[in-house]
Structure 1
Amino acid sequence: LDAVDASLRRLQTDYIDLYQLHGFDPDTPMDETLRALEDVVRSGKVRYVGCSNWLSYQLARAIGRSEAMGIVRMDSVQPRYNLLFREIERELLPLCDGDGVGVIPYNPIAGGLLSGKHNRDEGPEEGSRFTLGSAGPRYQDRYWHEGMFETVEQLRPLAAGAGMSLVQMSVAWVLANPTIT
């Protein structure tokens, strides 16, 4: 609750439209987390709640617990999703579609790899997402692999054939999924 109050002060506003839990907290009982979210929604400080980087079973459990307790439930989820990372199609997207949970994906251009501007032989360009701060190595681990570059090369002619840049096609592909909100 203190984090919400601090955010309201920093944002200089009376309420937050969407408050998302960035990652699943295995050290806090789920019911405690859900009750805290209920409190901030009832107080009017937050309108909607969501989560980011939760696994399907974690979101399903949260929805079930919220419904059992008769309290606010997750309105949205923010997963990683792009042409190079499609794992959420197996379980998370069907869950969200069936339970009416909004999906706000991040990394639609794979940290910039789907821009097509990176050269696998030269390494990540300084100042790119692949070199910035503590996230740089994480992005390299996710995307800076031979197979990813091969896929990007296979996508180039598809984008050109559609009269789009690789970035335009990548974002359009994500948005074309009817479960993406």
Structure 2
Amino acid sequence: MHYRKLGNSGTIVSAYALGAMTFGMEADEATSHKILDDYTAGGGNFIDTADVYSRGISEEIIGRWLAARPEVRDQVVIATKARFPMGDGPNDFGTSRFHLGRALDASLKRLGIEQVDLYQMHAWDRLTPLEETLRFLDDAVSAGKIAYYGFSNFLGWQVTKAVHLAKANSWAAPVTLQPQYNLLVRGIESEIVPACQDADIGLLPWSPLAGGWLAAKYERDTEPTGATRLGENPKRGMEAYEARNAQERTWQIIDTVKAIAADHGVSAAQVSLAWLAAQPAVTSVILGARNQEQLADNLAAASLELSADEIEKLTTVSAPVLAEYPYGTAGERQRFRPMPGS
């Protein structure tokens, strides 16, 4: 396992984090604890959850795991999030001081810890002034309830605004951003990645395998079935089968991933993860697992080193097409790629 700084902080985390969204839903408590044991035994030290995951059950499962292994607490970095509804009341969501104060205390109680190492705003809140949210987070840092804070699903201008507001008021600064990012979804490279690089904010990509697409689980023109994300619901959100199946780019990417995987004798998932971990500004790639076998395969990506030529092939075949101003010119389709050395 390789280790990196947590964004612009001095804390060190593993290049692959363990996402706990499956805990209490796709993985029961016993399975979740085994996944946590295997992850830490493999050198992982960064666990990411959220209050909304299974309505607090994911945090409770992690809390009981930590309680049974007190020696582990000082070795792992615990991240959680708040923003989405945890009740039916008008203040049971958002990033207001009112809601976050209660949400943070509830997360600390469920996790059984005194401090959240990384507290993340799960999404932008257009109702709450950003100054109110940032001041709360600064106060929480001063009070010792959180060590650092970050964002998830923010746009580039939202990240930049937060960074400059924090600096102007001498408040604690954000250290990370958690966006969707993978070989199929690279739109963040146009604005969000540069904004994070400018502020030295680390990326924590979620959905690195695009719901199983980049693990080569699905076949062209054959609607998936069985115990996979899309097998259980082929119309699932942004990962929906019909739309992606219709795009030739999808299958060009998957074919390239499979060819490189065959050359190395590894899984397609490992190649997809290794490419993402090698991208500029990425601090730690968030792995989700339903079982120990899935985690073991994904964690093996930590020992896979792709050549510069292989990374270039994957980068080229997956380049997003941006046809409209200002990223392209009228009548032309321009492929956006990060600047060399960025």
SS in structure 1 at match of 2:230? coil
In terms of mean alpha carbon deviation, does 63-72 or 90-99 score higher? 90-99
Q: Does the alignment pair 1:178 with 2:261?
A: no
Higher alpha-carbon Rg: 2
CA distance in 2, matches of 1:152, 1:91: 25
SS in structure 2 at match of 1:37? helix
CA distance in 1, matches of 2:130, 2:253: 39
- Structure 1 residue 153 displacement after superposition: 2.5
Q: Does the alignment pair 1:39 with 2:139?
A: yes
Higher helix share: 1
- Structure 1 residue 8 displacement after superposition: 0.4
- Structure 1 residue 137 displacement after superposition: 3.3
1:7-22 alignment runs, 5 A limit: 7-22=107-122
1:42-81 alignment runs, 5 A limit: 42-81=142-181
SS in structure 1 at match of 2:240? helix
- Structure 1 residue 64 displacement after superposition: 0.8
Pair 132,57 (structure 1): closer, same or farther in 2 beyond 3 Å: farther
Query: Residue 106 of structure 2 aligns with which residue?
Result: 6
Q: Does the alignment pair 1:157 with 2:259?
A: yes
Q: Is the 8 A contact 1:113 1:143 kept in 2?
A: no
Q: Is the 8 A contact 1:110 1:143 kept in 2?
A: no
Is there any run of 5+ residues in structure 1 with no aligned partner, and where? Answer: none
Query: Residue 50 of structure 2 aligns with which residue?
Result: none
Is there any run of 5+ residues in structure 2 with no aligned partner, and where? Answer: 1-100, 284-342
In terms of mean alpha carbon deviation, does 71-80 or 86-95 score higher? 86-95
In the TM superposition, what whole-angstrom CA distance separates every residue of 1:148-176 from its partner, at most 9, and x where no partner exists? 23431243213323443211110000011
The residue type paired with residue 149 of structure 1 is W
- Structure 1 residue 132 displacement after superposition: 5.7
In the TM superposition, what whole-angstrom CA distance separates every residue of 1:113-156 from its partner, at most 9, and x where no partner exists? 111121243323244223668x9334317973322234312432
The residue type paired with residue 109 of structure 2 is R
In terms of mean alpha carbon deviation, does 91-100 or 28-37 score higher? 91-100
Q: Is the 8 A contact 2:141 2:147 kept in 1?
A: yes
SS in structure 1 at match of 2:207? coil
Off by >6 Å, runs of 4+ in structure 1? none
Q: Is the 8 A contact 2:138 2:172 kept in 1?
A: yes
CA distance in 2, matches of 1:106, 1:142: 22
Query: Residue 239 of structure 2 aligns with which residue?
Result: 139
Query: Residue 194 of structure 2 aligns with which residue?
Result: 94
Length-normalised TM-score, structure 1: 0.89
Q: Is the 8 A contact 1:118 1:125 kept in 2?
A: no
Length-normalised TM-score, structure 2: 0.49
The residue type paired with residue 75 of structure 1 is V
Pair 167,38 (structure 1): closer, same or farther in 2 beyond 3 Å: same
CA distance in 2, matches of 1:25, 1:142: 31
